[in-house]
Chain A
Amino acid sequence: MSKAATFLNSQVGRKLATGVTGLGLVLFMIVHLLGNLAYFAGPEALNTYSHTLHQLGPLLWVVRMGLLLFFVYHAWLGISIWLERRKARPDKYEVYASRGGASRQSWSSSSMILTGILLLLFVVTHLNTFAFHDFDKVVYGGVEMHDVHSRLSEVFAQPLYTVYYVVIMVLLGMHMRHGVWSAFQSLGWMSRKTNPVIYGIAFVLALIIAAGFIGLPLSIFFELV
């Protein structure tokens, strides 16, 4: 094996890659969330933002492919680590309990595989609902654009879809609550001084991102915008 392959297949390398891809996806979500906020500025702002992104051409495809690579690799690592864990303890405990204290075992950390798989399935449906949708056209200043705004208004007028979306975003918050902190630990950036700070930042970041993504559909559903 080459040096890079040996590194990436080591237990340290696998965690490092999980952390790097995870933080990359968090970065994407921050950009995505900021983009979503354009909805509140009205149809023209959101549609123009979407149009500007589409004008990026090859750069957009580089970002899309990178995102796909990060997403698939992150999911594959998570699933393979989970499968490895089953092999590492063939005989289960009759009774198992967390000691608490320094332990970070929680609903968030113990359900990473479940929330992760649900997020994976969500992304497929999400792309189908928005990215691959045949949008209506709208014209601003002589330029024809996708009417993303009306699609959002239409989708989040449906109670079932709105509930589904909100639930998934809560799961995203849970996944990030352990994931962000864990990424810093995996990258070896934790120390006695930084530990509590990063743990706190991860919680706040997860809360902001989940609340941000939940805010838009609820605002649309309850006709607040």
Chain B
Amino acid sequence: MTIHLKIWRQKDRNTPGKLVDYTLDDVNPDMSFLEMLDWLNERLMNEGKEPVEFDHDCREGICGSCNLVLNGMAHGPMPGTAVCQLHMRKYKDGDTIVVEPWRARAFPHIKDLVVDRSSFDRIMAAGGYISINTGAPADANAIPVNKYDADLAFDYAACIGCGACVAACPNSSASLFTGAKIAQLAHLPQGHPERKKRVVKMVDKMAEEGFGDCSNYAECEAVCPAEISITSIAEMRREYVKALSEIE
């Protein structure tokens, strides 16, 4: 199949970027989107041209490394799917696909389709952890957790930290990511000792990093490859109100 690509090329943060046209006329429908980009890059390198930089790692939808906006949608058109798991059979022969990086002030641009997502790491470092004594593994069911909380915590824990929520949000808010991390730990007994400090620090860090306010558009939930619900954002807000005593 033939695919027309318009890919965002940008040398570095300080050089203005632009969309560059590429046409691939021998795309195999069984290729993943990233394999098609590999295919393009091999051609470019054979022609002595600079390959397109893009982030990827596991290519099985669990690492959260890939980050492409396809025709204006973070991770492309498939619900619950990271772009590495999107296959070209989803497209029709002759389709044009515009490929852009995540765009947000809190995700500074690096090169082509690669952005710096370390602001997420800093939100995590602010409180997205539990302090426990490591050592021999504990018995699996030594700490009882009821099924309702276990299920919810598991759903929120599915967040792979890819940043699609920010990329798709008209306000560039990181509320879904931060909410998922806070809600996950709030449902587990292990998360309780630092529960109040955690929500205050993570919410404050999120604003400090330059992410926008949430306007409840729910676009984040629509693009999330792990299909995290915006109820995590409601939970984050509840947790924040309960943590009033920790606010300085």
Interchain nearest-CB distance for A75 vs B (Å): 15
Interchain nearest-CB distance for A79 vs B (Å): 12
Q: Contacting A105 at CB < 8 Å: which of B6, B217, B233? A: B217
Task: Count residues on chain B whose CB falls below 8 Å from chain A CBs.
Answer: 55
Which B residues are in CB contact (< 8 Å) with A103?
A: 217-219, 221-222
Contact B240 A105 (CB under 8 A): no
- Of the listed residues B77, B212, B248, the one surrounded by the most CB atoms of chain A closer than 10 A to its CB is B212
Chain A stretch 162-216: residues in CB contact (< 8 A) with chain B: 178, 181-182, 185-192, 195
Q: Contacting A185 at CB < 8 Å: which of B6, B207, B216, B241? A: B216
B234 within 8 A of A: yes
Which of B29-37, B87-95, B97-105 is the interface stretch? B97-105
Per DSSP, are chain B's interface residues mostly helix, strand or loop, or mixed? mixed
Q: How far is the CA of A88 from the CA of B229 in the complex (A)?
A: 23
With contact pairs A85-B172, A88-B105, A188-B237 given, residues A104 and B217 touching in the complex (Cβ less than 8 Å): yes
A55 within 8 A of B: no
Which B residues are in CB contact (< 8 Å) with A102?
A: 218, 221-222, 227, 229-230
Q: Contacting B73 at CB < 8 Å: which of A89, A99, A189? A: A99
Contact A188 B170 (CB under 8 A): no
Classify chain A's interface size.
Answer: 35 or more
B236 within 8 A of A: yes
Interchain nearest-CB distance for B75 vs A (Å): 9
Q: Contacting B216 at CB < 8 Å: which of A13, A84, A186? A: A186
Which B residues are in CB contact (< 8 Å) with A105?
A: 170, 217-219
Q: Contacting B234 at CB < 8 Å: which of A7, A91, A191? A: A191
Contact A110 B170 (CB under 8 A): yes
Residue pairs across A and B with CB atoms within 8 Å: the count is 151
Interchain nearest-CB distance for B112 vs A (Å): 14
With contact pairs A84-B213, A105-B217, A192-B229 given, residues A99 and B168 touching in the complex (Cβ less than 8 Å): yes
Q: Contacting A178 at CB < 8 Å: which of B100, B216, B247? A: B216
B203 within 8 A of A: yes
B8 within 8 A of A: yes
Which B residues are in CB contact (< 8 Å) with A192?
A: 229, 231
Which B residues are in CB contact (< 8 Å) with A94?
A: 6, 8, 19, 98, 100
Which A residues are in CB contact (< 8 Å) with B223?
A: 99
B41 within 8 A of A: no
Which A residues are in CB contact (< 8 Å) with B177?
A: none
Contact B71 A88 (CB under 8 A): no
B189 within 8 A of A: no
> Which 4 A-B pairs give the minimum distances between C-beta atoms?
A88-B212, A97-B72, A188-B237, A188-B238
| A interface residues, Cβ below 8 angstroms from B | 3, 6-7, 10-16, 81, 84-85, 87-105, 109-110, 112, 178, 181-182, 185-192, 195
Q: List 26 A-B contacts (CB under 8 A).
A: A3-B247, A10-B203, A10-B247, A12-B203, A12-B240, A14-B213, A88-B105, A88-B210, A93-B100, A94-B100, A95-B69, A95-B71, A95-B100, A98-B219, A99-B77, A99-B79, A99-B168, A101-B222, A102-B222, A102-B227, A103-B217, A104-B217, A109-B216, A185-B216, A186-B237, A188-B235
